[in-house]
C-alpha cells in the first residue's frame, strides 16, 4: 500500500466505504468528521477510500455541507480499484463496491487493527477512537486493556499488567502488589492505575 509521504511517521485510520451518496456512508462520514479533532489530538489522521471517482467525492462532500452544515476536512482516496483489490476490500457478490473496512496504522506504518463490516452495518466511530487511544496507551506503558476499557465493569479505567513470561517474574508479582506498585487477584491477573 503506497500512501503519500505526508503520512510517513504518522498514525492514521484508513477506512473504506461502499459508495458516495449512500445513507449509511453519509452518517459515518459525519460521525468521523465530528470526532476529527479528537483523532488529531491523538496524533492520528483520517483517510477515507472508495472506488468512486474524484468528482463524485467532491459533489458528495458539497452535498453533506449543504444539507448538514458539516465540512469534511479529511481526504478521501478515489481508488481505481488497485488498492481495494490489494487490501481485500471489494465486497464479494456486490460488484465493485468496497466493504466497510477500517485499518488502524501506527506511526511506524504497521497495521495494528483491521475491522470489516458488511455494507448494511455501520461502524461505531467512538469504538474506533477508543482503540486508537488504547493502542497508544498500551504501547507507551506496556499494559493491556480490559474489556470495554476505560469503562470496565470490574477494573473501571485501570489497565492490566501483561502476564509474567518467567517464574521469577511470576513469583515477584504478589510481592510488588504488597509494596503497592499494583493490585493483583493472583500472580497472573494484576492491574494498576495509569500514571
What amino acid positions are annotated as catalytic residues? 25
User: Sign of dihedral through CA atoms 177, 181, 185, 189?
Assistant: negative
Q: List, in order, residues 6 or more apart from 35 with CB less than 8 Å away.
A: 125, 126, 129
Residues 21/63, Cβ–Cβ less than 8 Å: yes
Burial 156-181 (b: 16+ CB within 10 A, else e): eebbbbeeeeeeeeeeebeebbeeee
Separation CA 155–CA 158 (nearest Å):
5
Amino acid at each position: 500500500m503506497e500512501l503519500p509521504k505526508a503520512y510517513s511517521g504518522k498514525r492514521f485510520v484508513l477506512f473504506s466505504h461502499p459508495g458516495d451518496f449512500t445513507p449509511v456512508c453519509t452518517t459515518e462520514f459525519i460521525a468521523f468528521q465530528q470526532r476529527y479533532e479528537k483523532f488529531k489530538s491523538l496524533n492520528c489522521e483520517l483517510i477515507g477510500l472508495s472506488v468512486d471517482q474524484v468528482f463524485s467525492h467532491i459533489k458528495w462532500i458539497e452535498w453533506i455541507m449543504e444539507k448538514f452544515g458539516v465540512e469534511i476536512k479529511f481526504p478521501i482516496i478515489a481508488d481505481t480499484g488497485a488498492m481495494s483489490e490489494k487490501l481485500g476490500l471489494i465486497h464479494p457478490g456486490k460488484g465493485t463496491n468496497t466493504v466497510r473496512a477500517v485499518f488502524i496504522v501506527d506511526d511506524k506504518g504497521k497495521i495494528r487493527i483491521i475491522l470489516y463490516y458488511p455494507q448494511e452495518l455501520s461502524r461505531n466511530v467512538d469504538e474506533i477512537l477508543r482503540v486508537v487511544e488504547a493502542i497508544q496507551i498500551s504501547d507507551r506503558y506496556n499494559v493491556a486493556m480490559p474489556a470495554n476499557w476505560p469503562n470496565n465493569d470490574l477494573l473501571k479505567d485501570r489497565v492490566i499488567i501483561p502476564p509474567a513470561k518467567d517464574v521469577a517474574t511470576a513469583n515477584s508479582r504478589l510481592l510488588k502488589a504488597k509494596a503497592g506498585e499494583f493490585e493483583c487477584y493472583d500472580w497472573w491477573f494484576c492491574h494498576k492505575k495509569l500514571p
